[in-house]
Amino acid sequence: MAKSKAKKLRERLTREGKMNPEVKRSEFVFSDMRTRTTKTKKDHLYQFKHKNHQSQDGNDGSFLFLNHFVFPIS
């Protein structure tokens, strides 16, 4: 695999006793800048995938209405 011109120049500077520019690079060069700050559509949908399952305290969000109509029998 061939060396780039920039790499050859850096090696030459180190050989000659001068400072290598790689030393001056900040730590952000090696960090992954592709991390997402907001949820994707898939993450948002998966969050609500099991919304009707029973939770720890027994409140699963469901409700029941009972209407009892009493009609007099004549």
The secondary structure of 37-66 as a DSSP string is SS--HHHHHHHTTTTTS--TTS--S-----
* AA identity, residue 6: A
The whole model's pTM is what?
Answer: 0.37
pLDDT for 38 equals 83
Per-residue pLDDT of the chain (74 residues; tens, 9 = 90+): 789 999 999 999 999 999 988 888 888 777 777 776 788 888 877 776 666 555 556 565 666 777 777 776 76
Tokens standing for residue 2: 């061939």
What lies within 8 Å, CB to CB, of 68 at 6+ separation is: none
